[in-house]
Every structure is written in structure tokens, then in C-alpha cells.
């Protein structure tokens, strides 16, 4: 059974602590969308499972059993977490179902990047992607840093012209 998954990329593994992982999909505004997207399977929400026998760390689709009221959790993660600080630990593993990688806060507000961050980023992307050309990467940030190392390393010069508080989309064609 192939079900496309998402990779959730962050800078530090500890970014999953302190409630972020539990709260990522807890916004009540998302519930109607989750129910609509997954209505054929009956999933109604997404839950974080950090460690549980028989489950890998990640976010899972879930629903309530109509008879018992107990939570039923899917056996395949909807989204898997990845951290730049652990890039070498993912080598040698396969992630054949990941079709989308979402890099949250790729421009840190404090402007502090990891040593060799771009190498760690490329390592994780190549480990997940392999030779599958359909895997997409979305990089999202609240802060705007015109000296962002990703702009430099990807050769995105249009970001230097972007107006503050504007939203822009850059694709490989823009590079």
C-alpha cells in the first residue's frame, strides 16, 4: 500500500519538545479540512506519537471508534519528523513514501545557522529523495533575512529585491 507521506524538517530535534509536536495540528480550524481530505477513510484528526511500541515517531491519522469511543490510530505515519542536527543518523534508511518535505522556519529569527547547515540540509534531502524526482521541498519562514544562507547557496537573487512583509514563491525555475 503506497500512501504519500510528508517529512517535517526542523533545525533542532528539541524543537519537537515543549508542546509543538502536540499542537502542530491541534488548531480547531484545521479539523474540517482534515475530515474532508480523509473522509473516505474516516480519519478526523492528526495526533503526535513520540514513542509507542509498534509505532515510529511521527504524526498519525486518527479517529474515534463509533461503538467504543476509543481512539483508533493509523499504523502508518502521516508525517515524519527530521532535524538538521541529526542529519547523519538518517543515512542508510529508506523513506520511499515521502513525497513532500516541509522545512519549517528555515530562516531563524535569531539569524543563527548551524555550522555546515546547508550540507546537513542537502544530506537529508538526498537521503529522502534518492532518485525520485517527484519529491517537493517547501521552505517556510516568518522572518526575512536577506543574508539567508539558503538564498546564497541556491543562488536566489530575487529575494534581495523582495519587499518587507510580502510573500513570494521561488521555484527551481527562478534559480
Indicate the pTM of the whole model: 0.84
Q: Which of 45, 42, 70 is nearest to 60 (CA)?
A: 45
State the Cα–Cα distance between residues 174 and 172, nearest whole angstrom: 5
Task: Answer for the pair 100, 28: CB distance below 8 angstroms, yes or no.
Answer: no
Check the CA dihedral 121-124-128-132 and report its sign: positive
* pLDDT for residue 70: 94
State the Cα–Cα distance between residues 124 and 87, nearest whole angstrom: 6
Q: Which residues contact 104 (CB under 8 A, 6 or more apart)?
A: 8, 9, 10, 140
Tens-place pLDDT, residues 77-97: 989 999 999 999 998 888 999
Q: pLDDT band at 174, cuts 50/70/90?
A: very low
- Is 90 exceeded by the pLDDT of residue 141? no
- Is 80 exceeded by the pLDDT of residue 16? no
Tens-place pLDDT, residues 65-77: 989 989 999 998 9
- Is 80 exceeded by the pLDDT of residue 2? no
- Is 50 exceeded by the pLDDT of residue 175? no
Tens-place pLDDT, residues 110-140: 889 999 999 999 999 999 998 888 899 998 8
State the Cα–Cα distance between residues 138 and 119, nearest whole angstrom: 17
* pLDDT for residue 80: 93
Percent of the residues in the chain that have a pLDDT greater than 90, as a whole number: 33
- Is 70 exceeded by the pLDDT of residue 151? yes
* pLDDT for residue 34: 76
Q: Which residues contact 95 (CB under 8 A, 6 or more apart)?
A: 5, 7, 80, 127, 128
* pLDDT for residue 124: 95
Tens-place pLDDT, residues 26-59: 665 667 777 787 777 888 888 888 877 777 889 8
Amino acid at each position: 500500500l503506497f500512501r504519500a507521506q510528508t517529512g517535517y524538517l526542523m533545525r533542532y530535534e528539541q524543537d519537537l519538545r515543549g508542546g509543538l509536536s502536540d499542537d502542530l495540528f491541534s488548531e480547531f480550524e484545521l479539523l474540517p479540512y482534515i475530515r474532508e481530505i480523509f473522509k473516505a477513510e474516516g480519519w478526523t484528526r492528526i495526533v503526535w506519537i513520540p514513542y509507542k511500541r509498534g509505532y515510529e515517531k511521527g504524526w498519525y491519522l486518527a479517529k474515534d471508534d463509533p461503538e467504543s469511543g476509543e481512539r483508533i490510530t493509523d499504523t502508518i505515519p502521516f508525517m515524519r519528523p527530521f532535524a538538521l542536527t541529526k542529519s547523519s543518523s538518517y543515512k542508510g534508511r529508506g523513506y520511499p513514501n515521502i513525497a513532500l518535505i516541509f522545512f519549517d522556519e528555515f530562516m531563524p529569527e535569531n539569524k543563527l545557522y548551524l555550522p555546515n547547515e546547508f550540507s546537513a540540509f542537502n544530506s537529508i534531502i538526498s537521503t529522502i529523495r534518492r532518485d525520485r524526482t517527484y519529491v517537493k521541498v517547501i521552505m517556510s519562514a516568518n522572518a526575512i533575512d536577506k543574508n539567508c544562507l539558503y538564498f546564497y547557496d541556491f543562488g536566489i537573487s530575487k529575494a534581495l529585491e523582495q519587499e518587507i512583509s510580502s510573500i513570494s514563491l521561488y521555484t527551481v525555475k527562478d534559480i
